[in-house]
Structure 1
């Protein structure tokens, strides 16, 4: 029974770690497709790249800690998942700000020759719709990343606390054996 529980946990950590890696790849993959609307927006600060990199590293660490369980690796994985959760919250905020301020109509206003041409406005509205769809998709994926990171952090902390309790009981038993005290 113990080996089936360990196998289940290993498969679960591998699956959830793969989800974290995929969220990171989606962030990096969709990042270059974005256009910078204004200085300081999501694209100009390269947020998709550093968010994706953190999510990928967090996913790799989660898979490794499930595959090779050790206290040191679990502690680092808990730390990385806490960092991943913080970056997920940051990513959600950045994507919501980008979603709220996404507008391409200013491009049509700058072009004075075609000010009354509706084709520019139609293209701008289509671009806004695509950008909004990308932002909403990435917000949903980052919310998933947040839940997975929090879950890994909580389960990792529980595992570390359980290991510490077990080792303290073992030390107490060894002390009792050495001192011959009941």
Structure 2
């Protein structure tokens, strides 16, 4: 299927020629033609100029935030009894970290190969990233609020062993340090999630501005001609 585009008086007309020998239905051919057309998939130099290096910087920050989510989440998950119920069975530090890394890679790709299709995809993905960043903030805040002195040893107590005062004191001290470590890591992850929220909003705003300026620039060039 071939796609041609014509603009006149503020109206854009797409002309699609279907392939009668194709086994795909017409709707699939239309989507394929729009996504794979040179108009949408070719690298745009105006977009490259408008975006600058901001997307790569923001993408690198997202990758670092995702890696920190996975690393700090692994520390929490390796603590055995230090896990909260949601973190143990959902494992949200890992899939949230993987998503943030994916969003960062898309930002870098949209700058290296700034085609309209890729830039629009990057904007849509980072719009979804806003929801995931808010979800991350809520989950870590809930994890910090639900954590108490009993959640780290409820399944790990062994009352059959004789205890002494020194052993009890040592256990209490270690328990206090463990609680401080868990809460500190959760607070760091909450801060990183807020930073991720700011980054994805910035990516969306910059992407929309670049697309808008590119469209207005092309219109001015055609009017001058």
**TM-score of the two chains, using structure 1 as the length reference:** 0.80
Change (3 A) 1:8 1:157: closer
Mapped partners of 1:77, 1:9: distance in 2: 13
More helix by share: 1
Residue in structure 1 matched with residue 125 of structure 2 by the alignment: 80
Mapped partners of 1:81, 1:154: distance in 2: 10
Mapped partners of 1:170, 1:7: distance in 2: 16
Gaps in structure 2 of 5+ consecutive residues:
1-44
Change (3 A) 1:138 1:144: same
Q: Is the 8 A contact 2:84 2:147 kept in 1?
A: no
Which of 107, 112, 134 is the matching residue for 1:62? 107
Q: Is the 8 A contact 2:140 2:190 kept in 1?
A: yes
Mapped partners of 2:193, 2:131: distance in 1: 11
Matches within 5 A, 1:81-120: 81-106=126-151, 107=153, 110-112=157-159, 113=161, 114=163, 117-120=168-171
Superimposed CA distance per residue, residues 140-176 of structure 1 (whole angstroms, 9 cap, x where no aligned partner) = 11111110100010111122222333445566x49xx
Mapped partners of 2:164, 2:212: distance in 1: 66
Superimposed CA distance per residue, residues 82-125 of structure 1 (whole angstroms, 9 cap, x where no aligned partner) = 11121111001101111112234352794435497222222111
What SS does the corresponding residue of 1:85 show, helix, strand or coil? helix
Shift of 1:72: 0.6
Matches within 5 A, 1:28-47: 28-35=70-77, 37-39=83-85, 41-47=86-92
RMSD: 2.8
How many residue pairs match? The answer is 169
More strand by share: 2
Which of 213, 220, 223 is the matching residue for 1:162? 213
